[in-house]
C-alpha cells in the first residue's frame, strides 16, 4: 500500500502563510481513511494505534481511526480483530467512555459472533479491568462475589522466597470471575509502589466453593528491587478489592 501526499493544495502565494500546520489533521487531510479498500484498512489499523509499541507517536487525534475500526471489527481474520482490540485498548487509556460506547454499539448491532465480540471487548478493556473500573466489569458481565479472608502460609520472607496464599470464593449465581492479586510496598525513597498480577479467569457456580491458591516467587529483577520492609497483598475480584494482608521482607 502506498500513501501518496497530494501537494496541489500546498502551493502558497508569495507572502502568504499556511492556514494550518501540516501536523494538524483536518477533515480533508483525513479523507483517505474513508476511501481505502478493506484490505488497506486492515493494514492501516495497527499503524494508527495511539500507543503502538516501539513506534513514534503520530500527530493524530486518538479516535481518528474509529471509522476504520467500524469496518473491521467483524472481519473473519483473527489478526484483524486482534488489531482492532489493541487499538481500542490504546484508546481506553485516555477515553474509556468512548471505548465503552463503541463496544456497546457493536454489541447491539449483532454483526459479530458472540465469541469474537467477547474477545475484542475483553482485550480492549484489559487495562480497565486491571485498574478495577466498575463499568468495564459490568459491561463484561462480571458480578459481585464473596471471598473468605486471605491466608498467607508465611509472613516473614527474604528475596527469592515464595509467597504462598489461599482463599475461597463463592457466588450466588453462575457469573464470570476475573481475579487479580495486588502486592503493595514502598520504594527506598518512601514512594508507594503497587504491582498487579493476573490470577484466574473462570465461571463461578451457585453455592459451590472455588478454592484459590497461588505460589508467587518474590524476586528482585533488573528493573524492580525487592527492598526489605513491610508489604501487603490483596485479592481483586470483578473489580472489587478485598482487605489486604501484611507480610514482611527481611534482608537476606
In whole angstroms, how far apart are CA 141 and each of 9, 31, 106? 50, 37, 16
In whole numbers, what is the pLDDT of the chain averaged over residues? 80
User: Distance (Å, rounded) from C-alpha 208 to C-alpha 205?
Assistant: 6
User: Distance (Å, rounded) from C-alpha 196 to C-alpha 137?
Assistant: 16
pLDDT band at 107 (very low <50, low <70, confident <90, very high): very high
Inter-residue contact 179 to 201 (CB < 8 Å): yes
> What is the radius of gyration, based on Cα positions, of the chain?
24
Q: Is 216 exposed, middle or buried (0-12, 13-18, 19+ CB in 10 A)?
A: middle
| C-alpha cell belonging to residue 32 | 483517505
User: Distance (Å, rounded) from C-alpha 229 to C-alpha 218?
Assistant: 13
User: Distance (Å, rounded) from C-alpha 123 to C-alpha 247?
Assistant: 33
pLDDT score for 31? 52
Q: Averaged over 212-233, what is the pLDDT?
A: 92
pLDDT score for 30? 46
pLDDT score for 57? 53
pLDDT score for 187? 86
**Among candidate residues 33, 38, 36, 37, the one with its CA nearest the CA of residue 63:** 33
* Segment 20-71, tens digit of pLDDT: 333 334 444 345 445 554 555 455 555 455 554 544 556 666 677 788 888 8
Specify the residue for cell string 458472540. Answer: 114
DSSP conformational letter for 177: E
| pLDDT of 91 above 70 | yes
Cβ-proximal residues to 197 (8 Å cutoff; 6+ apart), any chain: 180, 181, 182, 183, 216
What percent of the chain stands above pLDDT 90? 43
What percent of the chain stands above pLDDT 70? 75
> Can you say how many angstroms the Cα of residue 148 is from the centroid of all Cα atoms in its chain?
28
pTM of the model: 0.62
* Segment 152-182, tens digit of pLDDT: 999 999 999 999 999 999 887 788 899 999 9
Q: What are the beta bridge partners of residue 178? A: 201
pLDDT band at 134 (very low <50, low <70, confident <90, very high): confident
Helix H segments across the chain? 32-35, 38-47, 66-72, 78-92, 96-109, 114-124, 126-130, 134-139
Amino acid at each position: 500500500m502506498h500513501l501518496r501526499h497530494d501537494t496541489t493544495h500546498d502551493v502558497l502565494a508569495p507572502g502568504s502563510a499556511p492556514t494550518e500546520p501540516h501536523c494538524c489533521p483536518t477533515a480533508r487531510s483525513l479523507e483517505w481513511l474513508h476511501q481505502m479498500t478493506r484490505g488497506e484498512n486492515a493494514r492501516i489499523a495497527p499503524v494508527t494505534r495511539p500507543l503502538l509499541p516501539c513506534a513514534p507517536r503520530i500527530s493524530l487525534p486518538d479516535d481518528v481511526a474509529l471509522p476504520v475500526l467500524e469496518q473491521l471489527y467483524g472481519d473473519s481474520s483473527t489478526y484483524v480483530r486482534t488489531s482492532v482490540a489493541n487499538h481500542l485498548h490504546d484508546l481506553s487509556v485516555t477515553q474509556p467512555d468512548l471505548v465503552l460506547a463503541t463496544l456497546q454499539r457493536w454489541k447491539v448491532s449483532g454483526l459479530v459472533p458472540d465469541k469474537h465480540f467477547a474477545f475484542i471487548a475483553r482485550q480492549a478493556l484489559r487495562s480497565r479491568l486491571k485498574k478495577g473500573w466498575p463499568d468495564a466489569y459490568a459491561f463484561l458481565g462480571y458480578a459481585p462475589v464473596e471471598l473468605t479472608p486471605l491466608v498467607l502460609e508465611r509472613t516473614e520472607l527474604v528475596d527469592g522466597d515464595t509467597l504462598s496464599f489461599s482463599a475461597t470464593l463463592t457466588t450466588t449465581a453462575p457469573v464470570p470471575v476475573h481475579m487479580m492479586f495486588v502486592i503493595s510496598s514502598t520504594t527506598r525513597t518512601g514512594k508507594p509502589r503497587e504491582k498487579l498480577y493476573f490470577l484466574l479467569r473462570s465461571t463461578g457456580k451457585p453455592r459451590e466453593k472455588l478454592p484459590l491458591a497461588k505460589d508467587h516467587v518474590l524476586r528482585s529483577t533488573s528493573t524492580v528491587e525487592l527492598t526489605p520492609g513491610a508489604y501487603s497483598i490483596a485479592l481483586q475480584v470483578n473489580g472489587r478489592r478485598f482487605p489486604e494482608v501484611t507480610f514482611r521482607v527481611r534482608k537476606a
